[in-house]
Amino acid sequence: MQLHEWLADDRRQDDTARSSGYPFGFMDDGAKKEIRRSILKAVAIPGYQVPYGSREMPIARGWGTGGLQITLALVVPDDILKVIDQGCDGSVNAVNIKKFVAKVAGVAVTTDTGEATIIQTRHRIPEERMTDRQILVLQVPYPEALREVEPSEMETRRMHAEADYSRMWLHLYEDIVNFGEITISYRYPVTVNGRYITDPSPIPRWDVPKLHMADTLFLFGAGREKRIYAIPPHTAVEPLEFEDHTFRTENFAGKTCARCGAADTFLDEVIDNIGGGRSYFCSDTGYCDKRSVTWNR
């Protein structure tokens, strides 16, 4: 849905939104406007954390209020929404958020990545490559990658302002000294646009390369911590690595999805029985559904 298309088309106020007694998109227009302006600033300065007046939502802090506010600020009636948690459409919290947004914005929902115009996600990026007609909204618990080395917000903002990142690099160096490799598993810090060190949200290493020079717009919303930041399309996103200790993703060699046979997706490990037997399934259930339909035929 391009913006100009939406503006040209005269929107009728959808009656489902009115019936819930709440304004379209649950938030008042002032809130939506502020969040949109924060998003624009975030896109203008890739990787920079824009502080914004985060509103309380009917779901708990730490359960996706940041992502929700971005979705609600952006959604238009004929958007198609997909919501996933740990890659799964059926996950309890994802279902809740989807129901809530559908109720207050009257939008259609889907589990098919290709079909969705807005995808709100927690801790995963869909396996399918997203297009320039889609937006991925990531829920963020810790917006500050430097929190690993510096608890104080005042100090981390100075470090960003001065691009004084040696302490973060030192942390990685010490990891290698103590453990023989960089032990960061999720929230692997990346440098966006060659300037800001940014926290990609707790996505596994597996998803980090998908952020680099992508076609789609990535918007990161931290509700509790009141920050919005973005990785615009075609932006360089490089994981912090050393020439002789390069970034590597999780290793699923020899394992395939028990449901759709995929060998190139991030696999969940499920404990079968008390004896500790394991089986593996695609974490991205939408993708797995589509594959298993064709795979089982």
Partner 1 sequence: MEPLIRVRGLSKRFGPGCDRCLDSTGPEHDTNVCPHCDSVTACSDLSFDLFPDEALGIVGESGSGKSTLVRLLHFEWEASGGSMELHRGGAAALWPEIFADQDQFSANLLTMSQFQKRQIRNALMGIVYQNPHLGLRMQVSSGGNIAERLLGAGWRNIAGMRERAAELLERTEIPVRRMDEPPCNFSGGMQQRVQIAKALSNKPLILLLDEVTTGLDLSVQARVLDLIRNLRREFKLSMLVVSHDLGVVNLLCQRTMVLKSGRVVEEGLTDQILQDPQHRYTQLLVASQL
Partner 2 sequence: MSYVAVKGGNEAIERACQLFAHERSKGSSPPLGVEQIREQLPLAVDRVMGEGSLYAPTLAALALKQAAGDTFEAAFMLRAFRATQQRLGYSLALGTEKMRIVRRISSAFKDIPGGQILGATSDYTLRLLDFDLLEDDESRRRAFRERLFSHLPAEAEIPATFPKVIDILRREGLLEEAPDAARQEGPVFDITRQPLTFPTGRSATLQALARGETGGMLALAYSSMRGYGNIHPTLGELRVGYLPLTVRHPVSGEPYVIGEVKITEAEVLARMQAGDGPPKFSLGYGLCFGQNEIKAISMAVLERCTRTTHPSCPAEDQEFVLYHTDGIEAMGFCNHWKLPHYVDFLSDLDRLRKSRELAGVGQDREDNDATA
**Burial tier of 103 (Cβ tally within 10 Å: 0-12, 13-18, 19+):** middle
**From candidates 28, 242, 264, 293, binder to partner 1 by CB under 8 A:** 242
Give the x-and-dash track for 140-169 against partner 1 (CB under 8 A).
------------------x--xxxx-xx-x
Residue 19 binding result from partner 2, partner 1, none, given CB thresholds of 5 to 8 Å by partner type: none
Catalytic, 257? Answer yes
Strands (E), 57-185: 80-85, 108-109, 118-122, 135-139
Report the residue from 102, 268, 289, 292 that binds partner 2 according to the rule CB under 8 A: 268
151 binds, options partner 1, partner 2, none, Cβ within 5 to 8 A by partner type:
partner 2
122 by DSSP, 3-state: which?
strand
Task: Output Rg (C-alpha) for the chain, integer angstroms.
Answer: 20
Q: Strand, coil or helix: what is 224? A: coil
How far apart, in whole angstroms, are the C-alpha atoms of residue 144 and residue 23?
32
Q: Which is nearer to partner 2, 104 or 214 (CB)?
A: 104
Rounded least distance, CB 185 to partner 2, Å = 9
Task: Encode 213-241: b = buried (16+ Cβ within 10 Å), e = exposed.
Answer: ebebbbbbbbbbbbbbbbbbeebebebbe
**173 contributes a contact to partner 1 by CB under 8 A:** yes
Residue 294 binds to partner 2 (criterion: CB under 8 A): no
- Which residue in the set 10, 15, 243, 272 belongs to the binding site for partner 1 (CB under 8 A)? 243
Known catalytic residues are: 47, 257, 260, 282, 288
